[in-house]
Amino acid sequence: MCRRITRAIFAAAAAGATIATFGLTAAGAASAATGPVRPVGNKHFAGQHTASATGPALVVVTRHFAGYHTASNETRRFRYVATTVGVRACQVTIAPDRNPDGDIELFSRTWLAEIGVLCNGGATSIFYFDQKSATAHASGVFRLTPRLGDSLRISISRNVSAHRDSFKVTNLRTGRSQTVRVTTSARVVYRHAFVGSVIPSNADVMPLPVSNTLLWTFRSSRVVTSGGVRGTLRGPWAAVKEVDRTAGGVTVMYAGKLSSSGGGFSTFLHAAP
C-alpha cells in the first residue's frame, strides 16, 4: 500500500498538482545473486532467521526490491540510515516514476520511513513517506531539483524520545539541503534499514534488456541502532540481500556485491533469460 501511495504522489506532482507536506523545513559489472533463497512475496524479508554477521549475506527473493538490508532477525532497533547516490538517466523508456528508483528505508513489519530518488532528476524527483500511525501517513516531495550526475546524500533519522523522524537530502554539487520532520506515534519501531532499488511493477520493465544494465550506485552507506551502535549494511549484524524475481522465477533486478567496507554497491536490471 505504501508503495502505491508514494507513486501516486509523484504522478500528481508531475502533473502540477499541489502536494501537501508535513512539517517541511529547508536547510540552506556484477553478477546476479546465487545461492539459497527464501521467497517473501511483495514485502521485505522480516522475521526470525539465522544468519552470520561475518558470513555471506542471506539471499531472499521479493517482487519489488533489490538491495541490502540490515539484520536477519527482529532483535535490533535502528534509528538512522544514510547513503550517497548519483542521479542517473532512466534505463527504461517509460515515465521516471515507473522506473526503478534509488531508495533508503527504516522499516519493520508494521512501520515504514522512506526516501526515494527518481531517475532523470529534475523537480519532484525526490520523495519521502512516513507511516505516522496505524491510520495516517505523511508524504510529499522535496523542493530540490537535481541534475543528471549530481550526487545526493540522503538520510533518515529517528529521534526516539521525541517520536520524530527526519528526512534529509543534500545535493553535494550545490550544497543545497532540505529536511522534512514528521512526528509519529510513540509505537513506531524500526527493526531494519534498507538501501537499494524499488520498482512498483515488474511488468513495467518488460521485456528485460539484452544485457545486465546498471540502475543505481550507492556509496558510503551508514546505519545506527537506537542504542548507538554504528555500522554499515554489513555489520556488526547479518546482511540480507534482496533479489527481485517474478512469480515465474525470472530475475528482474539484483544487487551487486557489497564493498569490503559494507557501504557500497550497485543495482542492476537483469538481462532477459
Q: Is the pLDDT of residue 8 over 50?
A: no
Report the run of H or E that residue 251 belongs to, with start and end: strand 251-255
Q: Average pLDDT, stretch 5-16? A: 40
- Residue scoring higher pLDDT (75 or 192): 192
What pLDDT score was predicted for residue 16? 36
* Amino acid sitting at position 99: N
Q: Which of 125, 95, 100, 82 is nearest to 213 (CA)?
A: 100
CATH number for the segment(s) 2-269? 2.60.120.700
Q: How far apart are CA 251 and CA 237, in angstroms?
A: 27
Q: How far apart are CA 258 and CA 255, in angstroms?
A: 8
- pTM of the shown model: 0.83
The CA distance from 186 to 194, in Å, is 22
Query: Phi and psi of 194, rounded to 5°?
Result: -125, 140
71-102 burial, b at 16+ Cβ within 10 Å, e below that, comes to: bbbeebbbbbbbbbbbbbebbbeebbbbbbbb
Residues of the chain above pLDDT 70, percent: 79
Q: What is the pLDDT of residue 54?
A: 56
| Band (30; pLDDT cuts 50, 70, 90) | very low
Reported as a pLDDT band with limits 50, 70 and 90, residue 4 is very low
Helix (H, G, I), strand (E, B) or coil at 272: coil
Low-confidence winner among 18-27, 44-53, 114-123, 185-194 (lowest mean pLDDT)? 18-27
pLDDT of residue 48: 47
Q: Where are the domains of the chain?
A: 2-269
CA distance 255 to 243: 7
- Using 50, 70 and 90 to split pLDDT, how confident is the model at 101? very high
Q: What is the tens place of the pLDDT at every residue in 139-167?
A: 999 999 999 999 999 999 999 999 999 99
Determine the average pLDDT of the residues in 50-54: 53
For residues 87 and 45, the model is more confident at: 87
Give the count of beta carbons closer than 10 Å to the beta carbon of residue 136. Answer: 11
The total of other beta-carbon atoms located within 10 Å of residue 150's CB is 16
Predicted confidence at residue 36, as pLDDT, reads: 33
Please state, as a whole number, how many other Cβ atoms lie within 10 Å of the Cβ of residue 183: 16
**CA–CA separation, 25 and 10 (whole Å):** 20
